[in-house]
Amino acid sequence: MTLARLRLAALVAVLCLAAAPFLVSSFSVTLLNYIGVYALVAIGLALLTGIGGIISFGQAAFVGIAAYSSAWVSAVSGYSPWLGLCLAVVLTCSVAAFLGLITLRLRGHFLSLSTIAWGLAIYFLFGNIPTLGNFNGIAAIPPIPIGSLKLSGSAQIYYLIWAIVVVCLVLSYNLLNSRMGRALRALRGGKILVESLGINAFRVKLAAFVIAAFLASLSGWLYAHLSTFISPSPFGAEMGIEYLMMAMVGGSGSPIGGVLGAALVTLLKNGIQDYLPLITKGASGELEIVVFSTLFILFLQRAPRGIVPFVARFMPQLRHVAPGTIAKLPVRAQPAPGYPLLIVQDVERRFGGLIAVNHVSFEVNAGEILGLIGPNGAGKSTMFNLLTGALRVGQGQITFAGQGICGQSQSHIARAGIARTFQHVKLRPRMTLLDNVLLGAHPRLHAGLLRGALRLDRVEEASAHAEALRQLARVGLSDDPFMLAGNLPLGKQRLLEIARALAADPLLLVLDEPAAGLRRQEKLRMAELLIALRDEHLTILLVEHDMEFVMGLVDRIVVMDFGSKLCEDAPAAIRADPRVQEAYLGSIA
Amino acid sequence: MDGTIAGFLAVDGIATGAIYALVAIGTVLIFTVTRVIFIPFGDIAAFTALTLAAIDSKKMPGTLGLVAALAILAFLTEAGSLARTRRLRQLPRAALIYLLLPLAVVGAVWAAIPFAAYEPVRILLALALIMPIAPLLDRIVFRPIASGSVLLLLVVAVALHFALVGLGLIFFGPEGVRTEPLTSFATDIAGIPIPGQSLLIVLAAIAFSLLLFLFFDFTVMGKSLRATAVNRTGARLMGIRPARSGTIAYLLGSVMAGVSGVLIAPVNTIFYDSGFLIGLKAFVGAIVGGLISYPGSAIGALFVGLLESFASFQDSALKDVIVFATLIPILLWRSFASKQIDEEVEE
Amino acid sequence: MSAMLTIENVSVSYGKVDAVRDVSLEVQPGQIVSVIGPNGAVKTTLMLATMGLLPLRGRITFEGTDLADLDVEGRVERGLCLVPETRELFAEMSVRDNLILGAYSRRDRHDLQADMHDVYRRFPRLRERSTQAAGTLSGGERQMLALGRALMAKPKLLILDEPSLGLAPLIVREIFTTIASLRELGVSILLVEQNARAALETADVGYVLETGEVVQSGPAESLINDPRLISAYLGSH
């Protein structure tokens, strides 16, 4: 399926939506209205939870803030619902930004628990503010006027709701295919990965959080003027969970899944309400909840990833067509060969009583490949993490390109020009090769959220794509840039990581065991690539314990054992050194 | 607010906090062993109160039907999983554990209710009946997704809570219950009246915490539970089955929740859906303890009880707003307090 | 004499690659068998799969029983015991509690005290620290505790994954002396090591694993001075 056919399918879907009020009963139109309203929240959750990995139980509270804002402006104070929309969006996004600033640094379940906490606090607040009608709510909310037309009938507001849904869908997909969207999609790869790419994870999370709240505020505004009456109950924990269900059922990784989930959950609830009384006589509303929750649990047990990933196999893969002439991204000047690019001075790091790195010093000179080797448990990985900022240096100094980098954040060090790879490959398996490499170029690009969503970033994106394709070609992976990274064999995944690191235009490439798990042929291939990169004046620091791989490749070797530096020399001298032989082969007990 | 009122509020708060503490400790126990944040725990407490009220009035509690239904479901789930992995040889054992044992409890309680003349006996019957619920739910709901993320387990636990609230209405009806006080004893300290029930609540909380502590420290089974919580892989390599540890944790937790339900029923009117707020507030207490520390959780739960007591004096309508808003700074503090450990794990 | 443990054509995948490829090896009753090779991850993968912690293709039998039907705990109950590279101690529990839990899988717990004294006799340091939390021990003491805890299970086959990893030479010697002394208990041992010389000195039979495959095997003493082995570790000339 091509882009043209996808556009055709989207057009048909929009036409169907437009024709619906003429074809179905007015009750069905009302149902569709609610589906649209819920879908907005679910799209936000698809971005926040499905893609960003931040589970929020509190979206219903955001919907509530917006609904109450607009109801208060229009029904209580008598101003236009459009003014209500302004207040709804501003207030909801401000509250979200405030809550996000406080809570988004929380880890894992602490974060989702906090969403329950503020969700409930806000919910209880609604019922206790007299001007908002306490638990009785606000009635007689006026319809939204467009010119002289008042959208009071369900078929009239229908077009407004679904126009907003479609626009939001398009904007979300645009966003996902932009610089910030890629950063958002990378979040689930873990903080270490994201920060190593020079991305400020917290800012990306905050942006996603506010975007989700923005979508919830649109939903709340529409909800208030659609139902003309609001009370606290639809903004409580139950609804918050229902929104989450919609996103998860639809397939939480895709905005369209939010719409599908909202439709499915709403229709299912409606169906249960209709048919349950026929099966069990006198069944109460509570039995609906039992059936509904049970279905949801069963669903999560069988298909924790939702509908869309299941259907996605039949969906088209978008293939970018490169335009003719493109401006190149600016590149850094590499330092003169021999310049001491990285200076490690007397560095120490302890874990509890264990000294993992014990007063180690060495230098990496521009234009060379330095191997840092040693047997398992020698402290190489710790040294590596200290260099890249993943761990804090206990004592000592690390200087990179003339700047002290001790105590700097990982993303700061990455932006300073140290690009790394991982011993256990960290790629985003469900992103294409191209997107993975584009992630590496993140700090070199500038497009923000809005430019991404409105597709004003196309010139820069074209340059970035060209650069990414160039790096893929450099490591020999240009055959199919639209393949998913997870489908590559390990050897090529390691090459892809290097391409991603190269896309950051680094001064120093640090590789963590690049040969681990590779077959002999793959190792040879890797060694050839690294030598080619050095010939292009790139500086490389290599942490390895595969001696065979290191020997033929590097210019100098630093050997570590028991956390200390054992010796430092050219490869041939290292091999002949009896201390190294003992460290590697072990002593005779 | 004068000293007497403050004292009165403090006594009230400590009693409420002690009830939350029991549930909080159970929550921590289950979380550490199974990684499930068992939100429906408050429901177990509420169901115990409802069961006891039914037994008190010589009615057959809805719990009988609930346990029987869950036992059948659990057995079918287990049988299905045994069939899929071609281990049908173990079917008789599964039938014994998941079907016959819970049904035996149901049968025994059913037979004993008409003869239960004394309150302690009725309490024991209610506790016995409530105990199988959580382990059976574990088998039906959580075992199939045991390796899922904490967040998946949390979402499922929340959904399970809603299912239980619905089941509560079906099995117990919409009426609220308030059981007879367990004691009419009352005293006062420095002019502040202290109801016997409050004393009883605090004593029970202390006694059960102590028992749990002894269990952990002095029995191999208790140690194996701790081992599962501390290091799952390590425990498996010693032959400790995490699923079995989970069942024991659920049983113990149910006792804690059940006792809290028995204690709260004479103080507050309990409805089929009262459990959510009890569970949630206990949970707030558990988070103060970082979801890993038992004394921390108990202190946190007491803090929540006191906070609620004083907040409802200041502004009874906003007490829940205050309790949940307070949770956010606590979460921040906990999250940053445990950061150091996180860094080490990353390494 | 039938083998105690037979690993037949076992492959273990780790993501898309085969980390272990078509490996076969045998442990006879009472034997110490060493698996050596420069890449720790491959050996560890094989051991985890043998314990049932990773899925595998191929067949593993223990005393004639196909292990495919048994889960990890079932294998422990049959007398298989792994001391993993990561030790997996119960860090927040006391040394004594760790040892007590070592005996969890045993049916007969009546001679628990005697066995605990036996462990303390082998590792007097553990007796000194019996009430201390395992997490506060030094690297060498942790390895001793891991070994001691495994001995409490009275296993028929003990699998040791990199027991010398990250330990100072003096302690490495102590650990290997202990391993050699376990022969008298009649325990069979599968020893995975990167300290090739010490491992082969201790073992009866050795297997060399390189890039996931067995490239060499034979009596331990014939392997020790094999030039191919040395090149595998230090890189070919």
Q: Tens digits of per-residue pLDDT, C144-174?
A: 999 999 999 999 999 999 888 777 777 888 8
What value does the mean pLDDT take over residues A533-554? 88
Is C84 within a domain?
A: no
Closest chain C residue to B231 measured between Cα atoms?
C90
Are A116 and B280 an interchain contact pair (Cβ–Cβ within 8 Å)?
yes
Helix (H, G, I), strand (E, B) or coil at A345: strand
Q: Tens digits of per-residue pLDDT, A454-498?
A: 988 888 989 999 999 999 999 999 888 888 898 888 788 999 999
pLDDT reading at B139 higher than 60: yes
pLDDT reading at B10 higher than 60: yes
**Do C72 and C169 belong to one domain?**
yes
The pLDDT value recorded for residue A281 is 58
What value does the mean pLDDT take over residues B131-143? 94
Closest chain C residue to A425 measured between Cα atoms?
C15
Q: Tens digits of per-residue pLDDT, B325-335?
A: 887 887 777 77
Task: Mark which residues 522-561 of A lie under 8 Å from C by CB.
Answer: 545-552
Are A293 and B280 an interchain contact pair (Cβ–Cβ within 8 Å)?
no
**Do C100 and C190 belong to one domain?**
no
B333 and chain A in contact, CB less than 8 A = no
- Would you kindly state where each structural domain of chain B is located, as residue ranges? 3-174+195-337
Q: Regarding predicted confidence, which is higher, A446 or C166?
A: A446
Neighbours of B343 (CB within 10 A): 13
CB A547 within 8 A of CB C234: yes
Q: Give me Rg for the CA atoms of chain B.
A: 20
CB A50 within 8 A of CB A253: yes
Helix (H, G, I), strand (E, B) or coil at B86: coil
Residue C62's CATH number: 3.40.50.300
A129, A269, A293: best to mutate for the B interface, most B CBs within 10 A? A293
CB A56 within 8 A of CB A244: yes
The pLDDT value recorded for residue B262 is 93
Q: Tens digits of per-residue pLDDT, B210-262?
A: 999 999 989 999 999 999 999 999 999 999 999 999 999 999 999 999 999 99
**Sign of the alpha-carbon dihedral angle for A152, A154, A160, A164:** positive
What value does the mean pLDDT take over residues B189-210? 87
Helix (H, G, I), strand (E, B) or coil at C32: strand
Task: Mark which residues 218-277 of B lie under 8 Å from A by CB.
Answer: none
Residue owning tokens 């990455």? A414
Q: Where are the beta strands (DSSP E) in A384-478?
A: 395-400, 403-404, 418-420
**Do C19 and C68 belong to one domain?**
yes
DSSP lists the bridge partners of residue B270 as B177
**Do C203 and C192 belong to one domain?**
yes
Hey, what are B51's tokens?
A: 């069961």
A376, A487, A566, A577: best to mutate for the C interface, most C CBs within 10 A? A376
pLDDT reading at B197 higher than 60: yes
Work out whether strand C80-83 and strand C157-161 pair parallel, antiparallel, or are unpaired. Answer: parallel
Amino acid at position C160, single letter: L
Residue owning tokens 């606090």? A121
d(CA B220, CA B245): 12
The pLDDT value recorded for residue A587 is 58
What value does the mean pLDDT take over residues A54-78? 94
Are A244 and B155 an interchain contact pair (Cβ–Cβ within 8 Å)?
yes
Q: Tens digits of per-residue pLDDT, B264-289?
A: 988 888 988 888 888 888 888 888 77
The pLDDT value recorded for residue A65 is 96
Of C73, C90, C104, the CB nearest to B231: C90
Helix (H, G, I), strand (E, B) or coil at C71: coil
Are C17 and A545 an interchain contact pair (Cβ–Cβ within 8 Å)?
no
Q: Is A173 exposed, middle or buried (0-12, 13-18, 19+ CB in 10 A)?
A: middle
pLDDT reading at A407 higher than 80: yes
Choose one of C114, C137, C153: the last residue of a domain: C153
pLDDT reading at C95 higher than 60: yes
* Percentage of chain A modeled with pLDDT above 90: 47
Among candidate residues A215, A234, A214, the one with its CA nearest the CA of residue A224: A234
**Do C143 and C160 belong to one domain?**
no
Helix (H, G, I), strand (E, B) or coil at C26: strand
The pLDDT value recorded for residue B346 is 29
The pLDDT value recorded for residue B341 is 37
pLDDT reading at B342 higher than 60: no
> Using beta carbons and an 8 Å cutoff, which residues of C are at the interface with B?
51, 53, 72-73, 76-77, 81-82, 84, 88-93, 97, 100-102, 104-105, 109, 149, 153
Is C9 within a domain?
A: yes
Choose one of C153, C178, C200: the last residue of a domain: C153
Hey, what are A140's tokens?
A: 């007689």
C164, C165, C201, C233 from A586: Cα distances, Å: 10, 11, 11, 10
Please state, rounded to an integer, the average pLDDT across all residues of chain B: 87
A581 and chain C in contact, CB less than 8 A = yes
The pLDDT value recorded for residue A130 is 87
The pLDDT value recorded for residue A544 is 84
Are B227 and C77 an interchain contact pair (Cβ–Cβ within 8 Å)?
no
The pLDDT value recorded for residue B58 is 86
Amino acid at position C141, single letter: E
Choose one of C132, C153, C174: the last residue of a domain: C153
**Do C159 and C66 belong to one domain?**
yes
DSSP structure string for A268-336: HHHHHHHHHHHHSTT--HHHHHHHHHHHHHHHHHH-TT-HHHHHHTTS----PPP-S--PPPP-PPPPP
**Do C120 and C58 belong to one domain?**
no
d(CA B247, CA B249): 5
Are B347 and A391 an interchain contact pair (Cβ–Cβ within 8 Å)?
yes
Work out whether strand C32-36 and strand C205-210 pair parallel, antiparallel, or are unpaired. Answer: parallel
C13, C17, C43: best to mutate for the A interface, most A CBs within 10 A? C17
The pLDDT value recorded for residue C1 is 52
**Do C12 and C71 belong to one domain?**
yes
The pLDDT value recorded for residue C18 is 59
d(CA C150, CA A261): 51
Amino acid at position B172, single letter: F
Question: Chains contacting B with at least 3 CB pairs below 8 Å?
Answer: A, C
Are B166 and A290 an interchain contact pair (Cβ–Cβ within 8 Å)?
yes
A231, A370, A559, A570 from A584: Cα distances, Å: 72, 19, 10, 17
**Do C161 and C75 belong to one domain?**
yes
Q: HSE on the CB side for A117, CA within 13 Å?
A: 26
Hey, what are A204's tokens?
A: 């990306």
Among candidate residues A287, A458, C228, the one with its CA nearest the CA of residue B167: A287
Q: Tens digits of per-residue pLDDT, A194-219?
A: 999 999 999 999 999 999 999 999 99
Q: Tens digits of per-residue pLDDT, C33-90?
A: 999 887 767 888 899 999 999 888 999 999 998 998 888 999 999 999 999 988 899 9
Range of lowest pLDDT (A314-318, A462-466, B214-218, C192-196): A314-318
The pLDDT value recorded for residue A205 is 95
d(CA A136, CA A68): 12
Greatest mean pLDDT among A130-139, A172-181, A240-249, B288-297: A172-181
d(CA C3, CA C29): 7
Q: Tens digits of per-residue pLDDT, C202-225?
A: 999 999 988 788 988 999 988 888
B343 and chain A in contact, CB less than 8 A = yes
Of B37, B321, B336, the CB nearest to A125: B321
CA C94, distance to chain mean position in Å, is: 23
The pLDDT value recorded for residue B340 is 41
Are B236 and C73 an interchain contact pair (Cβ–Cβ within 8 Å)?
yes
Is C35 within a domain?
A: yes
What domains are defined for chain A?
3-312 (1.10.3470), 340-417+507-589 (3.40.50.300), 430-505 (no CATH)
Of C91, C92, C104, the CB nearest to B238: C104
**Do C236 and C222 belong to one domain?**
yes
Closest chain C residue to B232 measured between Cα atoms?
C88
Return the DSSP state at B217. Answer: H
Neighbours of B199 (CB within 10 A): 16
**Do C75 and C183 belong to one domain?**
yes
Hey, what are B264's tokens?
A: 């709260």
DSSP lists the bridge partners of residue A542 as A371, A511
Hey, what are B143's tokens?
A: 């075992």
**Do C11 and C66 belong to one domain?**
yes
Task: Mark which residues 115-134 of C lie under 8 Å from A by CB.
Answer: none
d(CA A500, CA A492): 12
The set of residues, in sequence order, having a beta carbon less than 8 Å from that of B75 and lying 6+ positions away, is B94, B95, B98, B99
Task: Indicate the pLDDT class of residue A284, thresholds 50, 70 and 90.
Answer: low
d(CA A396, CA A383): 12
Count of A-C CB contacts under 8 Å: 87
The set of residues, in sequence order, having a beta carbon less than 8 Å from that of A83 and lying 6+ positions away, is A73, A74
The domain tally of chain C equals 2
- Which structural domain, as residue segments, surrounds residue C33? 1-79+155-237
* Percentage of chain B modeled with pLDDT above 70: 97
The pLDDT value recorded for residue A274 is 78
A373, A487, A548: best to mutate for the C interface, most C CBs within 10 A? A548
Angle at A98 between CA A97 and CA A100, to 5 degrees: 60
C196 and chain A in contact, CB less than 8 A = yes
The pLDDT value recorded for residue B130 is 95
d(CA B266, CA A245): 37
The pLDDT value recorded for residue A586 is 66
Angle at A369 between CA A367 and CA A375, to 5 degrees: 160
The pLDDT value recorded for residue B280 is 84
Range of lowest pLDDT (B134-148, B221-235, B310-324, C152-166): B310-324
Helix (H, G, I), strand (E, B) or coil at A364: strand
The pLDDT value recorded for residue A589 is 42
Residue owning tokens 């991982």? A422
The pLDDT value recorded for residue C83 is 95
